[in-house]
Structure 1
């Protein structure tokens, strides 16, 4: 029994060794090629980033960068798969007996449209319960809501919280620029010491502009 188990183990080890040797020899026989390219969306011709690019069952792969560019070493005869969520999967067969050691691709991927079954969502288990719930709803008179919104207290609250209009903002901005220019070229003028202002004030007194009018 032990002899049979030992022979089976020895045969299995020799099989693995021979299989690995054949794979290594196959890789040495096939030429290494640098596969590079850009992946674009067929609908918008925009670069597609994050596309999974790999050789199935070989443990070799990469992904496209920010601008859809990718580059990876492959062997002659490899089948390279391009997959991305929402786009149709594509494959590329590396040709054999290639003269150059580089291959460049411009790959366009189409949108993968999946039709889902229709799902009807109801807020209640049955249509009868839904109708009963709608009929039992209490509807508020819209005129009552309008009257409460037009009350003086509500209008005053809205006026205090309402932001300035475009004209007011522009006027404040212009006033700020004028004050900055005045501060740039000297102190702001004091109207109390302005002789022209005093002359205008005296003329208004003589004309009687300041007299109270009944």
Structure 2
């Protein structure tokens, strides 16, 4: 079968002006130049023959010297390769494909299909009146929010901070006596600051 194929290729070469038949092989790589690209079509459009790269990106096919070989794959730019005639009976090439990136135009999604419906929705929009604003300001008064904050229990962050402080004090008491807070100026400053905050 292989002999018959080579015989047909030989006759075809003489029909095309005596072009020499060589074995064209190669590896097709992606843009990273490391991993092979499988399923790449390598073919000669004029002659109607070709092959496909395997899982490692390798391919091999008989070709005529001067053939224009097309390398195409989904997601990559199509490339053209001319088979040289000064490389002997076997020629091996390393082909790197370039990713074919298509940029789509931006699409603006609106909640209303037409401008007229948007205008109608804006005109029909019911805004809160003065009574609603008064109730909202009454509920969100600063003194009410302050009392709510002071009466709220500690959250996870405050519990962790309190536990860390207690653990630090326990380690300090283990190696030396605890200092008297009445003689600590920083403690007095914190106490006075808390009194001023309570008056507000």
TM-score (norm 2): 0.49
